[in-house]
Amino acid sequence: MNKPTYADYVGRMSEVADFRYSAGVLQWDQETYMPVKGEGPRARQIATLTETAHARFTDAAFGDLLRALSGLDDLKDSERRNVVLTFEDYEREKKLPSEFVRRLSEISSQAFQAWIAARRADDFGVLAPLLDQLVTLKKEEAERKGYTVHPYDALLRDYEKGTSVARLDELFGALIPALTPLLGAIGSVAQVDNSFLHGEFPKQRQWDWGLDLLKRMGLDFQAARQDLSEHPFTTNFAATDVRITTRINEHDFSSMTWSCIHEGGHALYEQGLPADQYGLPLGEACSLSIHESQSRFWENNLGRSLPFWVELWDVLTSYFDFRGIDPAGFYKGINRVQPSLIRTEADELTYHFHVFIRYELEKALLTGNLSVRDIPAWWNEAYRRHLGLIVPDDRHGCLQDVHWSHGSFGYFPTYTLGSLYAAQLAKACPPGDFASVLAWLREKVHRFGRYYDSEDLCKEATGAPLDPQIFLKYLTDKYRDIYGLRGI
Amino acid sequence: MNKPTYADYVGRMSEVADFRYSAGVLQWDQETYMPVKGEGPRARQIATLTETAHARFTDAAFGDLLRALSGLDDLKDSERRNVVLTFEDYEREKKLPSEFVRRLSEISSQAFQAWIAARRADDFGVLAPLLDQLVTLKKEEAERKGYTVHPYDALLRDYEKGTSVARLDELFGALIPALTPLLGAIGSVAQVDNSFLHGEFPKQRQWDWGLDLLKRMGLDFQAARQDLSEHPFTTNFAATDVRITTRINEHDFSSMTWSCIHEGGHALYEQGLPADQYGLPLGEACSLSIHESQSRFWENNLGRSLPFWVELWDVLTSYFDFRGIDPAGFYKGINRVQPSLIRTEADELTYHFHVFIRYELEKALLTGNLSVRDIPAWWNEAYRRHLGLIVPDDRHGCLQDVHWSHGSFGYFPTYTLGSLYAAQLAKACPPGDFASVLAWLREKVHRFGRYYDSEDLCKEATGAPLDPQIFLKYLTDKYRDIYGLRGI
């Protein structure tokens, strides 16, 4: 064997990235444009790409290369960090045989199509058999990847290095008991008016408005585009090719608008990653929680703030007729707190009950304390208990999110982590216009890729470790002001 | 080695198809939706998929499998045919190293982007350096693949098994000298009126009309979709996932309408291929000329016939205001013969001069008698000589077609072959409505995949070998009638 070089490493990583990003293009197409009968062949095409990426990445010779490079002392710091992070990934990934990865991919594609069909039929039963197969596979994955305390820890690790059931129990243990009385206090005073958010908002006009907003946020549309899909998402095939999707409800101003801002936040992060690190850890997002901190920073900390809408008021009202509403009233209305059924449309407070319910449900699924067929009943009971809601049907219940059909168990908690990080970043970020805020995020977060783990990045960017009290104080101050609460 | 099985063969072929079709999805996206800065990573992603497909297909062990299967006598006839055709492909493909295939793919992607930029700048010089690299690579490909008479023969074979410079010289030698006096005769009588095709045809209305037309033709939109692109094309990622594209000129009714019908003809062929032969020769189109026969059958033999527009008159006039025009006048106008600059918008007669010019140009490029930088001058002179036209700029000249930027040299002649086959099929096809015509094409052409070669398929379907006189008689009869020609 010739002397191993960093260039060999980059070559293999770029090739693996080609397969992964190609699978990403096929998935994006599957969720945006693919005709329905393309489903079967598409599932096997994505599976072949996924299996090939995995096989090329976990190839023993690549492991030898990584080991050899780890011993070299002439690597630059960024190069060494790439090699170290890749070796960690390699050690985890090689625990899964390529055939297992293929099977997981195939079942996920089928489950995604079943999820679409189940939603159309409003019947969880249509999805249940495939979801059952997926849960079985994810349990097997947890066993193969290994864990010391809880099988769910093994899955959480895929989305959020450094977190665990123990850590999440601690964080939710701080959040939920604090949010519950705040929700109670809000429920005991007069509700704010948000009726102006419901009316007629024509599709094309919303679409144009969304693109305008994204441009103002600083999204580079020569390196991004937006399309429609059943469930909004962000994906990318390079730092210079980022795709976001949205959906439009012609009777609801909120649905598309904050989905655009949210996905726009994700997309700005992807566009801020170093393009010269294609396929390498330093070219990838730090973690899902930091990814989510970026979307929520824009969606909530900026996008549900008063200055944001004061700044955009003339633009907004050039698209839509909000006669009789001023920015202050608009601000109150868009921050109305009210228990509701759909996570993606929840307010900043009740949102975390939605996540907590999914977190508890996933833990129970993984340990076998809950079986797939009992999900609807479990779900509906949890919504009654935590939010006092009656779930009328599965579409508004356990069929609302795409994640499980993708095989993503352990993903939801990163949404709450993201809110915590977002609040902490927002507190640290100097006030300014969109451009200066984006520049700050680029400088403090985006440019690092995976150089730091989430909690270290938080310390570097804000000077302190993650502290859920910052988020709680942010919410309490905000709603005290909006609702005129006393004594909290 | 275990006893080789047909299932092993199908497994490998399906995997190769997964890579090829995935590259197809990435190419489709590149030409429809991809943001411009995605270009660089996309080129390498497609190259990796293309190289991998080639490497998996030309793997020596797969060659051994094919040889072993060829010796088995318990294969079904269709299975044997698949193996025989695959072995032919294998023998040809393995003459190209995978690195060469990768290089060709990368340069093609770059050339495609350069073609877009060159068209925007209206400057062939923007494309020339990459085209020069492509021509060099194609010459190398011809040498590697081998030929006995003309290097162009080696490239023609990729698109049309069984054809050659000798055969094409013979066919064009029959066509061009017959079409020239016919064109002269038309030029000497009063021109028909087609002014009604120029006016205001709003984009959305054209789009809706195009989709309506495609549905009436029998295209299954659960297994197909249409999008917009710079240059209309058809591609597919399975018989159940066919994509067509079009472009819209708001001032010209013809441009989109016949592009839809043309690509619709291609797409109907793809949808008629046996879906259970995924990735196998019997699941692929017979040849490019037969593919083109399907698009031209619909575009011209049906789509420029009087009965077609009599049948659709009420539908057409529900979309557009053609007051003062009747189907007979419409029929004359849409068949107006007039030398023009753009191939895709040419009439059925002058069209073949466009192809002949490209054919002669490609032969000269391959033999080195013409260099890339001299293409515009050569092109413009050929248009002057054959069609009496002055080419005002490269956009309306040698930059009009995407093919060369894709590395497709040897492709254009299949367009003329397609017209000849289409005329012969149209003569054999019993008159009837769209559904009965489509059923006949399915029965006589689509279902066979690559079972027969082009000329054999023609004999099976029409009872006679390819005869260019059928096409010439069709054109002569048609234009004698439309233009009231005498003595021809």
Tokens of A451: 């150089």
The residues, any chain, with a CB within 8 Å of residue A20's CB and separated by 6 or more, are A49, A50, A53, A279
User: Nearest CA to CA, how far is B5 from chain A (Å)?
Assistant: 21
Within the 247-306 window of chain A, which residues sit less than 8 Å (CB to CB) from chain B? 278
- Does the distance separating the beta carbons of B221 and A33 come in below 8 Å? no
Tokens of A28: 């994006």
When pLDDT is cut at 50, 70 and 90, the band that residue B230 belongs to is confident
A107 with A169, same domain: the answer is no
- Does the distance separating the beta carbons of B227 and A33 come in below 8 Å? yes
Closest CB to A41: pick one of B26, B42, B237: B237
Distance CA A425, CA A467 (A): 11
Q: Which residues in chain B have Cβ-Cβ distances shorter than 8 Å to A14?
A: 44
B58 with B200, same domain: the answer is no
Does A406 reach chain B within 8 Å, measured CB to CB? Answer: no
Distance CA B486, CA B488 (A): 6
Burial (CB count <10 Å: 0-12, 13-18, 19+), residue B131: buried
Q: Which residues in chain B have Cβ-Cβ distances shorter than 8 Å to A37?
A: 220, 222-223, 240-241
Q: Determine the pLDDT at residue A231.
A: 86
Domain final residue, candidates A94, A122, A150: A122
- Looking at this protein, which amino acid is placed at residue B131? L
- Does the distance separating the beta carbons of A225 and B37 come in below 8 Å? no
Closest CB to B35: pick one of A19, A44, A222: A222
Answer whether residue B1 shows pLDDT above 70.
no
Q: Are A457 and A441 in contact (CB under 8 A)?
A: no
Q: What is the pLDDT of residues B74-124, one digit of tens each?
A: 999 999 999 999 999 999 999 999 999 999 999 998 999 999 999 999 999
Closest CB to B35: pick one of A18, A35, A221: A221
3-state DSSP call for residue A203?
Answer: helix
Closest CB to B25: pick one of A15, A25, A225: A25
Q: How many residue pairs from chains A and B have C-beta atoms closer than 8 A?
A: 114
Can you give the residue range of the structural domain that contains A336? 165-483
Nearest to B330 by CA among B194, B480, B485, B198: B194
Distance CA A117, CA A121 (A): 6
- Does the distance separating the beta carbons of A15 and B241 come in below 8 Å? no
Query: Is there a domain that residue B137 lies in?
Result: no
Q: Which residues in chain A have Cβ-Cβ distances shorter than 8 Å to B21?
A: 41, 45
Query: Residue B229: which CATH number?
Result: 1.10.1370.30
The residues, any chain, with a CB within 8 Å of residue B401's CB and separated by 6 or more, are B231, B343, B344, B358, B412
Domain final residue, candidates A97, A122, A147: A122
Query: Is there a domain that residue A146 lies in?
Result: no
Distance CA B456, CA A54 (A): 45
**Which of A14, A27, A36, A52 is the best residue to mutate to test the B interface, defined by the most B CB atoms within 10 Å of its own CB?**
A52
A191 with A111, same domain: the answer is no
Query: Is there a domain that residue A51 lies in?
Result: yes
A187 with A43, same domain: the answer is no
User: Nearest CA to CA, how far is B422 from chain A (Å)?
Assistant: 29
Tokens of B79: 């299975």
3-state DSSP call for residue B247?
Answer: coil
Q: Determine the pLDDT at residue A391.
A: 98
Helix or strand run (H / E) with residue A108: helix A98-121
Does A191 reach chain B within 8 Å, measured CB to CB? Answer: no
DSSP H helices, B94-236, are 98-121, 124-145, 151-159, 165-187, 203-217
Does A203 reach chain B within 8 Å, measured CB to CB? Answer: no
Does A57 reach chain B within 8 Å, measured CB to CB? Answer: no
Active site residues of A: 263
Domain final residue, candidates B86, B121, B156: B121
Q: HSE on the CB side for A311, CA within 13 Å?
A: 15
3-state DSSP call for residue A237?
Answer: strand
Q: Are A96 and A57 in contact (CB under 8 A)?
A: no
3-state DSSP call for residue B245?
Answer: strand
Q: What is the pLDDT of residues A266-303, one digit of tens each?
A: 999 999 999 999 999 999 999 999 999 999 999 999 99
Does A338 reach chain B within 8 Å, measured CB to CB? Answer: no
Q: Determine the pLDDT at residue B59.
A: 96
Q: What is the pLDDT of residues B249-298, one digit of tens each?
A: 999 999 999 999 999 999 999 999 999 999 999 999 999 999 999 999 99
Query: Is there a domain that residue B130 lies in?
Result: no
- Looking at this protein, which amino acid is placed at residue A433? D
First-to-last C-alpha distance (Å) of chain A: 68
Does B59 reach chain A within 8 Å, measured CB to CB? Answer: no
B210 with B63, same domain: the answer is no
B184 with B92, same domain: the answer is no
Residue ranges of chain A whose pLDDT lies below 70:
1-2
Closest CB to A241: pick one of B37, B47, B221: B37
| Predicted TM-score (pTM) of this structure | 0.94
E strand spans, B178-320? 224-228, 234-238, 241-246
Query: Is there a domain that residue A150 lies in?
Result: no
Q: Which residues in chain B have Cβ-Cβ distances shorter than 8 Å to A279?
A: none
Nearest to B416 by CA among B300, B247, B257, B273: B300
- Does the distance separating the beta carbons of B29 and A29 come in below 8 Å? yes
Q: What is the pLDDT of residues A125-149, one digit of tens each?
A: 999 999 999 999 999 999 999 999 9
Tokens of B215: 């549905």
Residues in chain A: 488
Query: Is there a domain that residue A152 lies in?
Result: no
Active site residues of B: 263
Buried b (16+ CB within 10 A) or exposed e, B176-186: eebbeebbebb
- DSSP notation for A21-65: HHHHHHHHHHHHT--GGGHHHHHHHHHHHHHHHHHHHH-HHHHHH
Distance CA A364, CA A359 (A): 9
Closest CB to B45: pick one of A18, A29, A34: A18
Q: Determine the pLDDT at residue B50.
A: 96
- Does the distance separating the beta carbons of A278 and B49 come in below 8 Å? no
Does A117 reach chain B within 8 Å, measured CB to CB? Answer: no
The residues, any chain, with a CB within 8 Å of residue B305's CB and separated by 6 or more, are B331
B313 with B378, same domain: the answer is yes
Locate the chain B residue with the closest alpha carbon to A277.
Answer: B41
Distance CA A46, CA A138 (A): 18
**Which of B16, B34, B42 is the best residue to mutate to test the A interface, defined by the most A CB atoms within 10 Å of its own CB?**
B42
Q: Which residues in chain B have Cβ-Cβ distances shorter than 8 Å to A120?
A: none
A103 with A234, same domain: the answer is no
Does B15 reach chain A within 8 Å, measured CB to CB? Answer: yes
Does B211 reach chain A within 8 Å, measured CB to CB? Answer: no
- Given the DSSP bridges, would you call strands B241-246 and B234-238 parallel, antiparallel or unpaired? antiparallel
How open is the CA angle B92-B97-B102, to the nearest 5 degrees? Answer: 110
Nearest to A296 by CA among A344, A353, A254: A344
B103 with B236, same domain: the answer is no
Does B215 reach chain A within 8 Å, measured CB to CB? Answer: no
A70 with A211, same domain: the answer is no
Q: Which residues in chain A have Cβ-Cβ distances shorter than 8 Å to B41?
A: 21, 237-238, 240-241, 278
Distance CA A179, CA A85 (A): 37
Long-range pairs of B119-127 with CB within 8 A, sequence gap ≥ 24: B119/B230, B119/B395, B119/B399, B122/B393, B122/B394, B122/B395, B122/B399, B123/B394, B124/B375, B124/B376, B124/B394, B124/B397, B124/B398, B124/B399, B127/B399, B127/B405
Q: Which residues in chain B have Cβ-Cβ distances shorter than 8 Å to A271?
A: none
DSSP B372: G
Closest CB to A41: pick one of B42, B220, B278: B278
Buried b (16+ CB within 10 A) or exposed e, A250-282: eeebbbbbbbbbbbbbbbbbbbbbbeebbbbbb
Q: Any bridge partners for residue B123, and if so which?
A: none
Locate the chain A residue with the closest alpha carbon to B51.
Answer: A15
3-state DSSP call for residue A286?
Answer: coil
A100 with A189, same domain: the answer is no
Buried b (16+ CB within 10 A) or exposed e, B433-456: ebeebbebbbebbbebbbbbbbbe
Query: Is there a domain that residue A210 lies in?
Result: yes
C-alpha distances (whole Å) from B208 to each of A47, A300, B218, B315 are 36, 40, 16, 12
Within the 17-56 window of chain B, which residues sit less than 8 Å (CB to CB) from chain A? 18-19, 21-23, 25-26, 29, 33-38, 40-42, 44-45, 47-49, 52
- Looking at this protein, which amino acid is placed at residue B111? A
Distance CA A385, CA A392 (A): 15
User: Nearest CA to CA, how far is B222 from chain A (Å)?
Assistant: 5
Query: Is there a domain that residue B149 lies in?
Result: no
Residue whose structure tokens are 């960090």: A81
Locate the chain B residue with the closest alpha carbon to A36.
Answer: B222
Nearest to A117 by CA among A230, A193, A24: A230
Nearest to A400 by CA among A197, A256, A230, A198: A230
Virtual torsion, Cα A22, A23, A24, A28, nearest 10 deg: 110
Tokens of B169: 């010289």
B34 with B108, same domain: the answer is yes
Q: Determine the pLDDT at residue A73.
A: 86
When pLDDT is cut at 50, 70 and 90, the band that residue B308 belongs to is very high
Q: How many domains does chain B have?
A: 2
- Does the distance separating the beta carbons of A35 and B224 come in below 8 Å? yes
Q: Determine the pLDDT at residue A486.
A: 87
- Does the distance separating the beta carbons of A18 and B237 come in below 8 Å? no
| Strand ordering across the sheet containing A241-246 | A224-228, A241-246, A234-238
